[in-house]
Structure 1
Amino acid sequence: MLSKTLPLGLGNGTGCRTEHAGDYWDVQETRKPCWKVKPSSSHSYSSRPYSPRTPLTSFTIGSPISPKSVTATVVNHTKPLIEGQQYHLGCSVESVAPVQDLTIIWYRGDQAVGQSDYTRFSFIDIDHANVFDNLTITASRLDRGAIYSCAARLDLNTSKPIPVTRSNSIQLEVLYGPIGLNHSGNVNVGVGNALELFCYAEANPIPTYNWTRNSITLEKENSGKLCIESVSVDHSGEYSCSVGNGIGSNQTAKMMVDVYYKPRMLNITGNVTTKAGNTLTLACHANANPTPFYQWRHNGTVLSNQKSDTLEIYSMNVTNGGVYECMATNTQGQDSARMTVIVTVENYGDAVVIGTWTVVCVLALVIAAVCLWRRRRQQPQ
């Protein structure tokens, strides 16, 4: 312990001069009090400022005292922090002098995030040379696991710098609600295939998941994944995933599931019996997803120009009678349906005319075939 009586050299008492290990430094700012530091019987130190208004010619000065301890805490809070709320980190420096030359520095990890000097300390205990400062933070998920500490530094401008005293470390635990919801989006899946939907959000503590399909709660689904081994048509609809942990607002994602299946329950509607000369209209109905395309056949022959779900034939005659087939096809498969159509005539006369024309056409074909056969025989070999 160095103790000397040094002349101020400032007759109005507005400044101080201090010696430490052979070095001198001056404090010329009138707003900073001069400090008298002396050993007590218990070898601790007490300090008392001199008022600048009191003229002094000399005083007893002790060597600067490095902090006995520097302690960092979360003020009046022992539980995990909640994101978005403000908290105060406290730095308590015990037994340090001269206080007017003390700087408290705050660190997040190894990066300085703030500092305070004598004019900004939160509290000063003059009699025991104790100082308290705080740092206000707004808790963020980025602070989860972050380490804060403080340090006390005496700035005396000596040739041998006084070591900085670092506090203990505070590792923060921050609770926060779900954010950044990721999900599988809309899904197309075929009947009989497996379906997997996912829904995930970062949160602390780990969130819970609730699933619904078409607004009906799926009781057994409480994880971030929803799996169905074999999909049926009934699994189509809107799925909703709600994520929450009691902190902040729940996050919700909606996904549409479209189940594909081949045409089924195919049927043909229309007149089974129609009169000659009338128009025949047949409609093919298929339950399918995605929408199928259609192909019509008459007595097994493809009707190339008939590719919609409706078939129309104008001016029906007897030759248009027979079996009509509708085939519906999509990416999942195909199905077909048949209908027999009978063409009737109005009266006997019409029947005779139609029959006569039929016979004439048949005879003409026979005669043409015979003539062609004879010509080939008469040609020289």
Structure 2
Amino acid sequence: MDLSRPRCRLWRELVLLASLLAWGTRQASGQIYISPESLLGFKGFRTVIVLENATEDALEFSWHRGANDTEDNMIVSYKPPSNFWQTGPMYRGRENVTTLGNLMIRRSALSDTGNYTVRVDTGNGTQTATGWLEIQDVEGKPDIWANATSLVEDVDSVAAICYTNATTVKWYVDFTLVSSSDRMTISPDLKTLVIHRVSRYDRTLYCEIDSILEIPQNSKIISLTVAYGPDNVRLSTSPITSKGVLSAKIGSQVMMECDAISKPSPTYQWIHNGSLLSFSEASVTLQSLTWDQMGKYRCIVANPVTQLTLYREFQIQLSRDTTPVVNRGFYISGAKVVWLIVFTVLGSVYFCGILIYALISHFSTRQPRLPSICLRT
């Protein structure tokens, strides 16, 4: 309930005016009285009716329900020297008298509204004072409603309504006080909040009001589920990919993995040379690389809620330092081929040199034949 409303403000002003008019007379005569400021209580809270101008040597404080101090309407009495409390017919189990003579009512109820009379025995006589106590209901926790709780980031909007009679309403998003901005709009009566293009950080929302006791009252917290992503798709491989190329040897192990920021968790697909593979996990391992597994690979990451899809791709090719030579099921590395060619050429040159040398030696050592001359005798 708002104290600023005309009825409450007028009531308090009248009580205060009456108490001020009588204050001077009471002070001059030493008459006890009840503090006007203590004659307003709130349902469910403790109320203390304060007794003013009581003497320190009082022998007994007796509180009564109503405008007189009869025994039939006594609530409770207290005798300071003996610390003796006595309850009366109007005692309801929630009242007590303090050592200063004040009446304390726990868990005040609306039915506690009415006149209360205190009687003080000073030994030289008695004094009485009467005051009207009003117990008011406190504005309860506000209710809240939202048109949606499952949303897509940067696509959907959410509208929330705070159901309350309070005139001051505050809105909290992700436990942070918010106001109207380019992304949020709060209605002129402060009871409606619209978040345009929700963000992944808009996880909760609730409204808050200031009650008559200046104690904040919060609504229940609404949790928002905002889908987003995939973002920041990363591709990691072993061996490491350089400029989109993974170099590996035949028979070696190749590992590849995709990772992305997404809610809910994304789905994965792998494509090899344009053909969809059966792998549907984020991580794939080729235990022994074959010729058929060479070529281009693409990892596709998709969010089924946001309907966004991203991909990363790379190519597996044979290591440059490996030259395959197929010969009955085995191959010779490039370095060995080079040495084999060098030895073959050198051997051929050496063999040709020996052959030429032998031919030259043979023809140079051969004796010429003289022609036969026949003489007749």
Q: Where on the TM-score scale, by shorter chain, does this alignment land: which range?
A: 0.3 to 0.5
* Structure with more of its chain in strand, by fraction: 1
**Structure richer in helix, relative to its length:** 2
Q: Compute the TM-score of the two structures, normalised by the length of structure 2.
A: 0.45
